[in-house]
Amino acid sequence: MNNFSLGILTSLVFAWWDLCASPLRSYNKVKLWRDKFLATVEMLQSESQKWRAVFTTLRLPYLALTKAGVSPNMAVSLIIGGTAVGGGAIVAEVMEPPSFSRGDSGVYAAPSDNPIEWNESMQTLRVDLGTTPVGLLELDSISINTYAGSALPTNQTNALILGGLPATSDPVFAETYLEVGDLYIDKWRCSKLIMEHIEVNHLILTKNAADGISHAMTAGTPRARGISGGVRANEMVVSNSTYDQVVISSATSNIDGRIDEIRMVNIWAKNPCLLSRIKAGTITINLSEFGNGDGLALKDWTIAQSVVYQTLTADQNIEVLISPPS
């Protein structure tokens, strides 16, 4: 046996002898080590909680301003202007990177949670759909173009755009559609709702009101549809946010975007909402109001002849004078 092995064996023998000779002393040594380890863990947890509290407190003014309807850009400006230490470094340290799930504006390539394009001056939420299908896209409690200083992007007239894109003179950019299994719209309030170039197996319109209705959809044979596609994004969800505009479209050249389920609930928009170039299994529009305060003669809910359905359910949809959204 070499000296190294003999040394280890000797140490083990003495340790065992020490344990047998004085169990209490051995226990106290282990206890001392345990207490030091737990004290270190508690200190690290305490420091982590303190730093979290600091950053949470620093974020409160920003969150309060945005929830009150102030644009994110204006909220940042107010925070910087009211801070003794100037510059954007403070906000950069406090704010996390923008993300879809947190309700930040920007251009998102579905299903990524982080924008491919973002700047403080752009308060538009845009989702570009391509080859990767999405399981669920949900927008809940969204205000569009309603806060002080809000404005639509240049040359835009619609607050919300959902669907594909028309073809252009450039042959590279062909017409695209948004393929949807189920599109569920509930409690919308838009100045107008425009529906065009849609193929839907089952169209359900229930308990809606509009300041003038013009429905000219036609019967046909669009098939039932659901979106599979193997590996796909499970969900993209955002709630309680404010934007200048919301655009969800199949913007990738010659590729139809695909979402199995779209749920858009409690949407408030001062300008028109547009549904265009959609192929859907089911479209449900429920308990929504569309009106611009311009009288029943000017139709604020229009469904064009280019909307083709196989089955139609329409119940308690009425014309009534409705003031424009404020």
For 249-262, the DSSP string reads E--STT--EEEEEE
- Identify whether 2 is part of a domain: no
Q: Count of domains in the chain? A: 2
| pLDDT at residue 87, rounded to an integer | 43
| pLDDT at residue 207, rounded to an integer | 98
Claim to verify: residue 212 and residue 111 sit in the same structural domain: yes
Helix (H) or strand (E) holding 21: helix 3-21
Give yes or no for a contact between 210 and 216, defined as CB atoms under 8 angstroms apart.
no
Claim to verify: residue 54 and residue 115 sit in the same structural domain: no
307-315 vs 193-206, strand pairing mode: parallel
pTM over 0.95: no
Look up residue 152 and give its DSSP letter.
P
Claim to verify: residue 26 and residue 131 sit in the same structural domain: no
| pLDDT at residue 130, rounded to an integer | 85
Claim to verify: residue 19 and residue 153 sit in the same structural domain: no
- Residue 148 sits at φ, ψ, to 5 deg, of -60, 130
| pLDDT at residue 43, rounded to an integer | 73
In terms of phi and psi (left: phi > 0; alpha: psi -120 to 50; beta: otherwise), the region of 122 is beta
Claim to verify: residue 20 and residue 148 sit in the same structural domain: no
| pLDDT at residue 90, rounded to an integer | 42
214-236 confidence digits (pLDDT tens): 999 999 999 999 988 776 666 89
| pLDDT at residue 120, rounded to an integer | 73
Cα separation, 61 vs 75, whole angstroms:
8
In the predicted model, residues of the chain with pLDDT beneath 50 are: 82-94
| pLDDT at residue 166, rounded to an integer | 87
Claim to verify: residue 290 and residue 173 sit in the same structural domain: yes
Cα separation, 309 vs 97, whole angstroms:
43
